[in-house]
């Protein structure tokens, strides 16, 4: 009988090649374990999330396995370089700022924004006021409202909203009955007016 560490190397029914295994800390190379009766995976690595976890809802494993910034995943990005601008009648002629801050985070099809505009000169443009957004509001979503701190005349009754397919926030004055009484324009602003806007919208 040929032996290896006192084990018969001619045992019938063995599969694979290489040394026989002892009971303590054996090392195996690419074994096929079939379906074990039990297993503890505390120290296991390399489990493929997309195919190695059962019992998840439809599409969950695929989503977990996808790169968050790649195809199939939920897009997640933050931009601190976005510069919102104030426009009157679609123009920003001569408008300058003491503070011009914009930032947004995009999570899938939702953009969350924060805007702060402190004017140092309201310029010479005239017309209705609009604050630019980083991307168009999704078509078919109706109107999206935003939180606003308006530091100008009529401030307490001003609402901010964006219409579907537009890339700008409109400002309007709401009366006591909830109806629009006027649209905010250049005449409501001074050379030092402040706007703080935050909110989220679909793209």
pLDDT in the model for residue 168: 96
pLDDT in the model for residue 94: 98
Per-residue model confidence as pLDDT tens digits over 96-107: 999 999 999 999
Domain range annotation of the chain: 1-71, 77-202
Closest C-alpha among 170, 185, 45, 190 to residue 118: 190
Residue 68 has pLDDT above 60, yes or no: no
Residue 64 has pLDDT above 60, yes or no: yes
Q: Averaged over 123-128, what is the pLDDT?
A: 98
Other C-beta atoms lying within 10 Å of the C-beta of residue 197 = 21
Joined together, the tokens standing for residue 159 give 């609402």
Distance of alpha carbon 37 from alpha carbon 42, whole angstroms: 16
This prediction's pTM: 0.65
Per-residue model confidence as pLDDT tens digits over 134-175: 999 999 988 999 999 987 765 558 899 999 999 999 999 887
Q: Averaged over 117-126, what is the pLDDT?
A: 98
Residue 187 has pLDDT above 90, yes or no: yes
Report whether 37 contacts 48 (CB < 8 A): no
pLDDT in the model for residue 85: 97
Range of lowest pLDDT (28-37, 77-86, 119-128, 168-177): 28-37
Average pLDDT across the chain, whole number? 83
């Amino acid at each position: 009988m040929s032996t290896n560490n006192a084990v018969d190397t001619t045992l019938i029914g063995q599969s694979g090649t290489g040394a026989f295994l002892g009971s303590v800390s054996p090392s195996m190379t690419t074994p096929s374990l079939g379906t074990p009766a039990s297993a503890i995976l505390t120290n296991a690595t390399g489990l493929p999330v997309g195919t190695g976890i059962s019992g998840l809802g439809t599409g969950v494993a695929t989503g977990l396995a996808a790169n968050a910034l790649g195809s199939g995943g939920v897009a997640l990005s933050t931009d601190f370089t976005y510069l919102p601008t104030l426009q009157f009648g679609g123009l920003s002629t001569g408008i300058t700022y003491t503070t011009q801050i914009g930032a947004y985070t995009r999570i899938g099809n939702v953009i969350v924004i924060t805007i702060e505009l402190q004017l140092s000169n309201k310029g010479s443009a005239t017309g209705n006021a609009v604050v630019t957004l980083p991307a168009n509001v999704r078509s078919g979503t109706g109107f999206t409202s935003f939180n606003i701190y308006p530091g100008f005349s009529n401030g307490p009754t001003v609402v901010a909203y964006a219409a579907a397919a537009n890339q700008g926030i409109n400002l309007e004055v709401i009366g006591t009955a909830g109806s629009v009484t006027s649209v905010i324009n250049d005449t409501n602003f001074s050379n030092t007016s402040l706007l703080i806007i935050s909110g989220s919208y679909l793209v």
